[in-house]
Amino acid sequence: MKFILGQKNGMTQIFTADGVAVPVTVIKAAPCSVIRVKTKTDKDGYNATVIGMPGKKKLGKRALGQTKGLGSLQYIKEFRADEPISLNHGDLIKVDAFTIGEKVKITGFSKGKGFQGVVKRHHFHGHDSTHGTKDQVRTSGSIGPCEPARVFPGVRMPGHMGAKRISVKNLTIAQIDKEKNLLYVKGAVPGAKNGLLMITCPGELNIEKPV
């Protein structure tokens, strides 16, 4: 399985040879370092690879101790796999591990909207603004009958909206810039600008050994 971490840079468009404009998302996928490799035979009991990506934030001594001499890696994530992967501590994963045309799965966190009402959060129609309605146009209305004298779980009500983990599958890689460590993926991906993304796809992972 191939995997890498990246940050969403925004959206743009590229043109095909026929002159068709294709909307793409630009992802900055800096070289990621392998921090730890977990296997079923170890105390962890499952196969996974822990990788880290550098960022702008300056880390403390406690966080630097987790990277085990690999520098300041701000973003650390774990990728599970069914079969063990032959990786070692310090190996580098770059954008050249992927190829143009591959279908990838991208996981990120959606934009946070804060505390929202039922009209915005659950697309409620709302009440009539006339015929006796007063200050209740965007309210939810009744949230349950009188007989149980309680609110059943799962009732759609106001609350925190967004900032949820979302995965989008079968996104095609349209272009790769190896010099700038950029991936151009067709379509939109979840999250705000500079949001962290986890990119995976089937296939053999090509890595670069540390010098």
Residue pLDDT, tens place only, 18-51: 999 999 999 999 899 999 899 988 888 999 999 9
| Burial group, residue 124, by CB count within 10 angstroms (0-12, 13-18, 19+) | middle
Q: 2-125+155-201 in CATH: which number?
A: 2.40.30.10
At 210 the pLDDT is 64
Which is more confidently placed, 83 or 176?
176
182 pLDDT above the threshold of 80: yes
**Rounded mean pLDDT of the chain?**
91
At 138 the pLDDT is 94
| Backbone dihedral angles phi then psi of residue 129, each to the nearest 5 degrees | -85, 0
Full-model pTM: 0.86
Which sequence spans correspond to the domains of the chain? 2-125+155-201
